[in-house]
Each structure stands twice: as structure tokens, then as C-alpha cells.
Amino acid sequence: MNNFIKFMIGSLLILLFSCDAGTSSQGADSNSVKKKAAKIQSTNVAKYTAIPKGDGEFKRGEFDKTHLTQVTYFKESGQTDKKYWYSKDRKIVSQMKVSHGKTGLDSLAVIKNEKMAVKKKLVYKLDDQGKKIATAYFDPKFKLKKTHTFGYNTNDDLIQETERDAAGNIILTTTYIYDQNREMIGMKSIKGKGTVVSEEKYEITKRDNKNNWIQKYVYTNGEVSHLINRQLGYY
């Protein structure tokens, strides 16, 4: 088993670092939590889907109440510790626990379903500053399924995420857009090497007393598609 793990790690590193040189982890986790004065301990995110009107267009104000809630807990360093996905009736449908400091690994995350059966395993690669620069997705038997690599700007904001299959072929490239205040205001996803499959813009409508957003509208390809409410816990 030790030899297998060493082989897996070596194969992962070869694959990840053969990716684009310009591509340097909460995708968004990649979505790493933005570093602000107040350290975020947890996020509770509910995403509601807009209901189309009779003309087929999505309008603000009417959203489907059936949704999944995602709750994430972070260490003081900003790294993800654990994550839970809840159904509308507050039942856990999936959960993830991250183990840090494994021999030869920066982080190993195991995702389980509601029956506690392993669904997939994730291996994170971190840089010297602790930023996630690559994620490898494995099935329960540790067979590589795909990888994500992440690139950052000089402010350490995530600006690009590239998804590849097990052979290293590009599946999806996502670019993240920020305003002058380093607030993410949009994203664009391109399939393979050219076809735009999704383009989102974000409108923040509420903030908490620490100036972090707690509500925003998502516009997909020009139409309102989702409402996101977020509760934040702090250290």
C-alpha cells in the first residue's frame, strides 16, 4: 500500500506540474476565502434558482425555495477544514473532511454521501504561502478522474481555474473577474479551447457589518439565474 501511495503521489505531481506554466485551490473553494481584517471561520451558503416568467425570461424576486445549503468551516489559516451539504429539510446529503499534513500530501479530502459511503477523494497541492494551486479528483479506489489547477494575480486573488481529464486534456477553463476593490464581480467558462459555455455577473445587494457580502444576484448569460444568501461566522 505504501508503494501504491508513493506511485499515486508521483503520478499526480507529474500530471499537475505539466499543466500550463501560467496556471499556478474554495475553484472556486476554489473559492478561497478572501483575506480581510476579520478571519472567516464558517460560511453558510444557500443558492436559490430563479423561476422563469411566462415569456421565458427570469426576473428578480421569484425563486425556487428547493435548494441545497452548503456549510464550510475554515481553519484560522484560511484553509478548508470540513464542508457539509444539506437538503431543504436540513438532512446531510454529502460531507467532506480535509486532513492536513499527510506524508507526501499537502491535504487529502474525502467526500461521503448521506450513507457515509466514500464518493470521491481529493488531493490538494499548496504553494509556500498555503494557497491551493492544484486539486486532483479520485474515485473511492484512488483512480484519477480529473484535475483542477489554479492561477492567481499579484493580490493573490483567484483569476483562473483549469479543469482537465485524467489524460491532461482541457475540459473547462474558468476566468474570474474582480473590481477595483478586489470583489469578484463575474466569471466566464470556456469549454475545451474555445466555446463559451457560461458567463456570470454578480450584483451584491447586502453586506454585513464587516463589509463582506451576504446576498447577491447571479446573472447567467445576461439573465437573472440565482439568488445567493450567505451567513458568515468569524474568529
Percent above pLDDT 90 for the chain: 43
Exposed, middle or buried by CB within 10 Å (0-12, 13-18, 19+), for 70? Answer: middle
Number of domains comprising the chain? 1
**pLDDT tens digit sequence for 37-78:** 578 999 999 988 887 665 555 555 567 766 779 999 998 878
Name the residue range of residue 29's domain.
2-234
Q: Is the pLDDT of residue 169 over 50?
A: yes
Q: Which of 24-33, 89-98, 140-149 has the lowest mean pLDDT?
A: 24-33
Strand intervals (E) in the chain: 40-52, 58-64, 69-74, 80-86, 92-100, 107-113, 118-126, 132-138, 144-152, 158-165, 170-178, 184-191, 195-207, 213-220, 223-234
**pLDDT tens digit sequence for 176-211:** 999 998 999 999 999 987 889 989 999 999 999 999
Q: Is the pLDDT of residue 137 over 60?
A: yes
Q: What is the pLDDT of residue 66?
A: 64
pLDDT band at 143 (very low <50, low <70, confident <90, very high): very high
Exposed, middle or buried by CB within 10 Å (0-12, 13-18, 19+), for 230? Answer: middle
Q: What is the pLDDT of residue 73?
A: 93
Measured at the alpha carbon of residue 105, what is the angle toward residues 99 and 110, in degrees to the nearest 5?
40
Higher-confidence residue of 30 and 232: namely 232
71's CB contacts (< 8 A; 6+ apart) are 42, 43, 44, 45, 83, 84, 85, 86
Q: What is the pLDDT of residue 102?
A: 52
As beta bridge partners, residue 213 has 207
What distance in Å separates the CA atoms of residue 39 and residue 41, rounded to the nearest whole number? Answer: 6
What is the value of pTM for the model shown? 0.74
Q: What is the pLDDT of residue 228?
A: 93
Exposed, middle or buried by CB within 10 Å (0-12, 13-18, 19+), for 120? Answer: middle
What distance in Å separates the CA atoms of residue 127 and residue 27, rounded to the nearest whole number? Answer: 16
Measured at the alpha carbon of residue 179, what is the angle toward residues 32 and 29, in degrees to the nearest 5?
15
Q: Is the pLDDT of residue 29 over 50?
A: no
Question: What does pLDDT average to over the chain?
Answer: 80
Q: What is the pLDDT of residue 54?
A: 58
Q: Is the pLDDT of residue 79 over 50?
A: yes
Q: Which three three-digit cell numbers place residue 154?
A: 499579484
Domain with residue 44: its CATH number is: 2.40.160
